[in-house]
Structures are given as structure tokens and as C-alpha cells.
Chains A and B, each alone.
Chain A
Amino acid sequence: MNAPLLDPMVPQPFRIEKVRRDLSDTFTMEMVPESGGEFAFQPGQFNMLYVYGVGEVPISISGDPADRSVLVHTTRAVGQVTEALDALKPGDSLGVRGPFGTSWPVESAFGHDLVFVAGGVGLAPLRPAIYQAMANRERFGRVIVLYGARTPEDILYKKELERWRGRFDLDVLVTVDRATGKWGGNVGVVTNLITRGGFDPLNTTSFVCGPEVMMRYAAQALEKKGVNTSRVWVSVERNMKCGCGLCGHCQWGPHFTCKDGPVFRYDRVADLFQIREL
């Protein structure tokens, strides 16, 4: 798809092909360009999704970067635009601008253990990187997915996590903050899973995505474990509007999150996490 590259401010019409309900407030949409063609992106990038007449919202791409035929977004309905997105059905049209922003540097982790740390719906922006890691599995040491959710009912991509766990070359550990029903798995915060290790800290790259407080503590736990913070990457969410560093709405210290992020190397932004006003 070339048009957004020519003018990143003009939304391109996409048609929704499938909608799947993941959780009570979270859904995944598959969409294709109405003009045909493909959509290329890097893991960790986001699009501005435009519900006609309602507004635009930045949403990370959560599909497989190797599959350019379909654009996949997982969204939590928490505001006016995302609720309007939730109301869309297969066949409906919406505008897409993007892809924008920096990406998870999967290739920089070649030769290393790769540890994904996700919390809540933060698994969605990491999923493309997990796909890419699995497609290049032989190029990494251990690949570990550590995922924390609120309750067992809030586990995103449950079937997919079960499928990944069934692979012999991928370690998947899931924990919940509060056990309900017959949950027999781990209980506790996701940082506990980091403490348990299973990776070589001196030879590890980690991608972390989730609520900001969780990312801060996860990065600290990785550092405490011996992982160099220059090999820890986080995805930061701010009020993205234009998507290409023009409007300044998403300014975070010296960075524009839409252009310099959303994926940042942790050691470069660690200080910003400590500034309350930001």
C-alpha cells in the first residue's frame, strides 16, 4: 500500500473482513484495503484508525508481519472512538493511516535469549514480534513469553497461548493477579515470572509491553536479574494524534511518541518513567 507513504495525513479506506470477540471489552478486527493490495508493517508499529464521523484513535497492529494480505488490530473498548470501533461489523468501512512509529528490533536479538514480558492487552502489540521470532526460531537461544493478566477470564489470545505453549521450542508462562474458578496456574504479578528466570541474563534481549507501572517494574526486575537495560525495550502509549511527529500532542520529554516511539530502548527513557508530570 503506497498511498499512506505519499500522504500520511490521508486515511485510506479499509473494509472489515472479520471481527472476533477476545474478552468482554476487547475485540480483534481483520481488515483489507478497499483498493486492494497489501499492507506492510514492522512489529510494534501502530495505525490511526478512523471511524467515520466519530474520530481517530491510535491502535497497535497485532497481526503477523509476514502476512501482508490482512491488517489485524486488537482493541479494548474504553472510549468514544474505540466503542464506535467495537460497533463496526464485517463489511463496514473505516479509515486507516499508517503504519507509524518505531518497531521491536527483533533482528537485534538474533543469537540471544528473547524474553517477551506482556501485561493485560499489552500482549497485542507484542504478538507481531512473537510471530516474527517464531518464524526465525533457529536464530535465537531460548524464546520465552511471560504474560500477566488480571484474572483467568482476562487472558488475551488464550487459545494461541495454549498453542504456543504446546511448541517444544517456546516457553510460555502465564500468571494472573487474582485466581478465579478452577484456575490451577500461577498467581502473582508478572515480575515474579521474571525473577524465576530460565534465561541467560547476560545474553538476553527483552521486549516489554503493558501498563506503564508494570513496564517500569518489569524493566527493574530484568535489570536486577542481570539483563543490561540497553537490551530491554518498552512500548509507550501517549496521546498520538497526527502519527508523524507534526502536532506534538504525544510529546514525552524530548520525544514524540508517535515518531521516536512507541518502542523505546529502556535505558534511553528510564529517567522519563520517574517524572510524575509526564
Chain B
Amino acid sequence: MVKPENLGPVIDEHPFFKGIDLALRDLLVGCAANERFEAGTMLFRQGDAADKFYLIRAGTVAIEIDQPGQPPIVVETLTEGEVVGWAWIVEPYRATFDARAVTLVRALSFDAKCLRRKMEADPVLGYDVLRRFVPVMAHRLSAARLQMLDLYAPPKPPKEKAVKAEKADKKSKGANRAPDARLKKAKKKDGK
């Protein structure tokens, strides 16, 4: 097992903490641990205390929503180089989804209480960690919205479009017809 003091280079290598200041990284090391999850095991479940977050070093993690009597719905999968869990940073610090190892997963975990304490004490560390987490959260939100759009669904049946077009056509024809009718009426009046 990798000793905590030796996790510094492992943190440096992970894309999430790319370019982190050495002094800040040393503060992180004290909260970090190296973990391994067999395929099928849970990293955390919805409602659990969000007492950790993970940086995936190898393997795939599925973010899921449980549903009674049916297999869970996989919302997204995360893989090497990505971060799992952000509820540790937002009160009330409870996991909002399940996270399951799809394959064997090797990850760095960070003790949330330990890190929050250090972030409170050292705003530079706090800002740096938040600066890295916010884009991840923004990206996930944007991806979730795109996913909701169901972009690859078959286009709307043309019939529906045709009916709309037909209605619009009738309206416009009606508008065009009006001057003709007025013209005929006028001609009649003129006795032509």
C-alpha cells in the first residue's frame, strides 16, 4: 500500500490537480488515501454522508439512481482522470446519487472533513480546490441538460409539420383572398 506521504507525486499526476502549487499539494496529501474497489462494489450510496471524494486513476465508475424493483438508471460513467463526488463541498454534505465501480477501480480518496477544515483555515487552498471543482460541476450540469434533450430521437413526424404548414397556408391564402373579394365587390358596384 502506498504510504500517505508518498501520495504527493500521485496527486501531481492526476489531471484534476494538474499544476497545483507544491505547498497546497502538501496540504492535500494529509487528507488523501489510495483506494481500490472491485467491480460491482459501491463507492457511496445516495443519502450517505458525503465524507469523501475520489479521483479515478484507473477503471470506470457509474453514477446511478436507484429505482424500486428495477435495475438502477445509469446517469453517466466516469473514468480515468475524472473526479467522483462533489456533494462533500455542498451542505448538507449528503451524496445525491449512487456511485458503483463498473470495473476494478483504483482511486485517490480525500477525506472531506479533513479537507474542508484545511480549506477553511487556508483560503488559498480553499479557492484553488473550488476553482477546480466548479468547472467540473458546470460541465456535468451542461452535459445533463444535453442528455435530457434526447438529441438522437427520430425527428417529429412530418404529418404534424404538414398540418401546421397547411393551417399557416390557409391563413395566408385567406389574407390574400380578401383584397380579391373586395375588388369583385367594388367592380360589382361599378356595374362592371
User: Helix, strand, loop or mixed for chain A's interface?
Assistant: mixed
Contact A78 B150 (CB under 8 A): no
Max chain A Cβ within 10 angstroms of own Cβ: one of B62, B75, B142, B143 = B143
Chain B min CB distance to A146 (Å): 13
Asked if B184 is an interface residue, CB under 8 A from chain A, the answer is no
Q: Is the C-beta of A80 less than 8 angstroms from some C-beta in chain B? A: yes
Assess the A213–B149 pair: CB atoms within 8 A.
Answer: yes
A217: B residues at CB distance < 8 A: 142, 146
> Is B154 located at the chain interface by the 8 A CB criterion?
yes
B151 near A: Cβ within 8 Å?
yes
Query: What size tier do the contact residues of chain B reach?
Result: 20 to 34
Task: Indicate if B102 sits at the interface (CB-CB under 8 A).
Answer: yes
Give the residues in chain A near B174, CB-CB below 8 Å: none
Q: In the complex, are the beta carbons of B152 and A192 less than 8 A apart? A: no
| A150 pairs with B75, CB closer than 8 A | no
Q: How far is the CB of A183 from chain B (nearest CB, A)?
A: 8
| B191 located at the interface, meaning its Cβ lies under 8 Å from any Cβ of chain A in the complex | no
Instruction: Name the residue on A nearest B158 (C-beta).
Output: A79
Give which listed residue, A149, A185, A188, contacts B152 with CB less than 8 A. A149
Is residue A245 contacting chain B, with contact meaning CB distance below 8 A?
no
Known: A184-B102, A196-B79, A213-B149. A189 touches B143 (CB 8 A): yes
Which B residues are in CB contact (< 8 Å) with A211?
151-152
Q: Would B76 and A192 count as touching, CB distance under 8 A?
A: yes
User: Is there contact, CB below 8 Å, between A177 and B152?
Assistant: yes
Residues of A136-193 at the interface with B, using a CB-CB cut-off of 8 Å, are 148-150, 154, 175, 177-179, 183-189, 191-192
B155 interface residue per 8 A CB criterion: yes
Whether A150 lies near B153 (C-beta < 8 A) is yes
Q: Select which of B60, B79, B150 is within 8 A of A150 by beta carbon.
A: B150
User: A210 an interface residue at 8 Å Cβ cutoff?
Assistant: yes
Q: How close is A144's CB to chain B, nearest CB, in angstroms?
A: 15
Please encode chain B, from 57 to 79, with 1 for each CB lying within 8 Å of some chain A CB and 0 for all others: 00010100000000001111101
Contact (Cβ within 8 A) B76 A210: no
Residues of B that sit less than 8 Å from A by CB: 60, 62, 73-77, 79, 81-82, 102, 139, 142-143, 146-147, 149-155, 157-158
Known pairs A177-B151, A188-B143, A189-B147. 5 more at Cβ < 8 A? A78-B155, A121-B152, A192-B76, A192-B143, A210-B152
13 interchain pairs, CB-CB under 8 A: A76-B154, A78-B158, A149-B152, A150-B153, A177-B147, A177-B150, A178-B73, A188-B147, A191-B146, A195-B139, A196-B81, A196-B82, A213-B149
